[in-house]
Structure 1
Amino acid sequence: MRLPLALCLGLVALAAASQSPLQRRVVKEVLDYFHGRSNVHFLFKEQAVEGAVEREDPSGTFVQLRVNLVQTACTKRTTRRQNCKVLENRRKPTCLACYKFDSGDVPKVLDKYHNCGPSHHLAVKEIKHRDEAECQAVEEAGRAGDALYLPGMYAFSKGLPA
Structure 2
Amino acid sequence: MRLLLLALAVGLVAVAAGSQPPLQRRVVRDVLEYFHGRGSVLFLFKEHSLEGAVERVNPSGTFVQLRINLVQTNCRKRAQRTQNCKALENRRRPACLACYKFDNSDVPKVLDKYHNCGPSHHLAVKEIKQRDEAECRAVEEAGKSMDALYLPGMFAFSRAYQA
Q: Same fold (TM over 0.5)?
A: yes
Cα-to-partner distance string for 1:82-141 (whole Å, 9 max, x where unaligned):
111211110000000000000001000000000000110101111111111110110000
Q: 1:85 to 1:145 in 2, by over 3 A?
A: closer
CA distance in 2, matches of 1:51, 1:10: 24
Q: Partner amino acid for 2:45?
A: F
- Output the TM-score relative to the length of structure 1: 0.85
- In structure 2, the partner of 1:47 is 48
- Name the structure 1 match of 2:63: 62
What SS is found at the alignment partner of 1:26?
A: helix
Residues 42, 74 of structure 1: 8 Å contact kept: yes
**Distance in 2, Cα, partners of 1:88 & 1:2:** 20
Task: Find out whether 1:123 has 2:124 as its counterpart.
Answer: yes
Q: Secondary structure at the match of 2:86?
A: coil
Q: 1:8 to 1:120 in 2, by over 3 A?
A: farther
Q: Distance in 2 between matches of 1:27 and 1:100?
A: 14
Counterpart check, 1:34 vs 2:18: no
Instruction: Please tell me whether the aligned partners of residues 12 and 47 of structure 1 are also in contact (alpha carbons under 8 angstroms).
Output: no
In structure 2, the partner of 1:152 is none
Residues paired across the two proteins, number: 156
For structure 2, the 5+ residue unaligned runs are 150-155
1:109–1:103 CA distance, 2 compared to 1 (3 A): same
| Partner Cα separation in structure 1 for residue 53 and residue 4 of structure 2 | 27
Q: State the match for 1:137 in structure 2.
A: 138
Distance 1:71 1:95 in 2: 13
Give the letter for the 1:76 counterpart: K
Structure of larger gyration radius = 2
Q: Distance in 2 between matches of 1:110 and 1:57?
A: 14
Aligned to 2:105, the other structure's residue is in SS state: coil
Give CA deviations for 1:40-63 in whole Å, capped at 9, x if unaligned.
011001111111100000010000
Give the CA deviation at 1:13. 3.1
Seen in structure 2, the aligned counterparts of structure 1 residues 13 and 109 have a Cα distance that, compared at 3 Å, is same
- Computed over aligned residues only, the root mean square deviation of the Cα atoms, in angstroms, reads 2.5
Counterpart CA distance in 2 for 1:159 and 1:143 is: 27
Q: Which moved more, 1:1-10 or 1:99-108?
A: 1-10
Percent sequence identity is 75
Structure 1's unaligned 5+ residue stretches are 149-154
Give the 5 Å matches for 1:1-162: 11-144=12-145, 159-162=160-163
The alpha-carbon distance between structure 1 residues 130 and 146, as it changes in their structure 2 partners (threshold 3 A), is: farther
- How far, CA to CA, are the matches of 1:124 and 1:63 in structure 2? 22
